């Protein structure tokens, strides 16, 4: 598996694309995009599709914006993490179909039976009937027949194993991400801006509250906290904030 390259992944997904869009499709980036490019595109899309931009518009339009931002956050949660992205790429590679060789048809003057190995012709028995020995074997010296079921196990067994491992890794990664998504962070504070935007600041500076957790989606915030989206000094995504009462906010010093 280590010999796969980004080119192999791009070819695999071109030849056998899943019915559902991939996270690469959601962000509109190529499979060879580096982390900086993915982060830049994610920021642009979040600013363009943020639900706050649909304030005052019809409810269906706002719901579409919320659904879109959830898709973007899910894609970023995987592609923005190097380990999660490697696991995801491995799962996508496992979707490549197993292409079985197509047998030759009968040659001129042959019937389908003789082409399949009828005695007295030049045809060869199919793999599922016999296994030919080395070139030093005499005529008719063949190994015992293999059952079709055993041949299918030999062909599909590795594929099934790879898919199972990929699914197990995906489930483990998703569980670990969910457990860590709402985990508490080191003490930091925010200063609110317009709408749900906020700026991360030191807690000894003027602020509106303390960051209780960093999450992938605003719906993950616990009751009693307010979901805000950090836009400065860098775009960091959603945080859950324990807002201070207006009269208890930290004043400017100096």
What's the pTM value of the predicted model, to 2 decimals? Answer: 0.34
Position 4 scores a pLDDT of 46
pLDDT digits (tens, 9 = 90+) for 123-140: 444 444 444 444 444 444
Report whether pLDDT(70) > 80. Answer: yes
Confidence of residue 227 (pLDDT cuts 50, 70, 90): very high
- Show which of 155, 181, 207 is a domain's final residue: 181
Domain count, the chain: 3
Looking at the domain assignment, is residue 110 inside a domain? Answer: no
Q: At what angle do helices 82-93 and 148-181 cross, to 10 degrees?
A: 160
Asked whether residue 13 falls in the same domain as residue 41, the answer is yes
Distance CA 168, CA 197 (A): 37
Asked whether residue 172 falls in the same domain as residue 218, the answer is no
Phi-psi region of 160 (alpha: psi -120 to 50; beta: other; left: phi over 0): alpha
Distance CA 128, CA 111 (A): 20
Position 242 scores a pLDDT of 93
For the chain, give the mean pLDDT.
73
Q: How many residues does the chain have?
A: 254
Residue 36 — φ and ψ, nearest 5°? Answer: -65, -40
Range of the domain at 238: 189-248
Asked whether residue 237 falls in the same domain as residue 220, the answer is yes
Strand positions, DSSP E, the chain: 189-192, 197-201, 209-215, 226-232, 237-243
């Amino acid at each position: 598996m280590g010999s796969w390259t980004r080119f192999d992944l791009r070819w695999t997904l071109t030849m056998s694309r899943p019915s559902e869009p991939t996270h690469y499709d959601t962000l509109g980036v190529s499979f060879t995009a580096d982390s900086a490019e993915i982060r830049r595109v994610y920021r642009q899309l979040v600013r363009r599709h943020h639900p706050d931009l649909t304030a005052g518009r019809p409810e269906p339009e706002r719901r579409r914006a919320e659904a879109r931002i959830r898709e973007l956050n899910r894609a970023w949660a995987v592609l923005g993490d190097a380990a999660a992205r490697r696991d995801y790429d491995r799962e996508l590679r496992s979707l490549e179909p197993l292409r079985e060789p197509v047998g030759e048809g009968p040659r001129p003057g042959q019937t389908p039976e003789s082409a399949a190995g009828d005695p007295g012709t030049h045809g060869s028995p199919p793999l599922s009937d016999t296994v030919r020995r080395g070139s030093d074997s005499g005529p008719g010296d063949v190994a015992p027949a293999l059952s079709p079921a055993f041949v299918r196990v030999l062909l599909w067994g590795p594929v099934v194993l790879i898919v199972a491992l990929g699914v197990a890794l995906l489930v483990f990664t998703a569980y670990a991400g969910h457990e860590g998504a709402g985990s508490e962070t080191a003490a930091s504070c925010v200063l609110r801006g317009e709408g749900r935007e906020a700026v991360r600041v030191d807690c000894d500076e003027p602020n509106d509250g303390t960051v209780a957790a960093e999450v992938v989606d605003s719906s993950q915030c616990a009751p009693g906290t307010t979901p805000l989206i950090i836009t400065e000094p860098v775009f960091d995504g959603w945080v859950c904030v324990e807002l201070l009462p207006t009269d208890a906010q930290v004043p400017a010093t100096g």
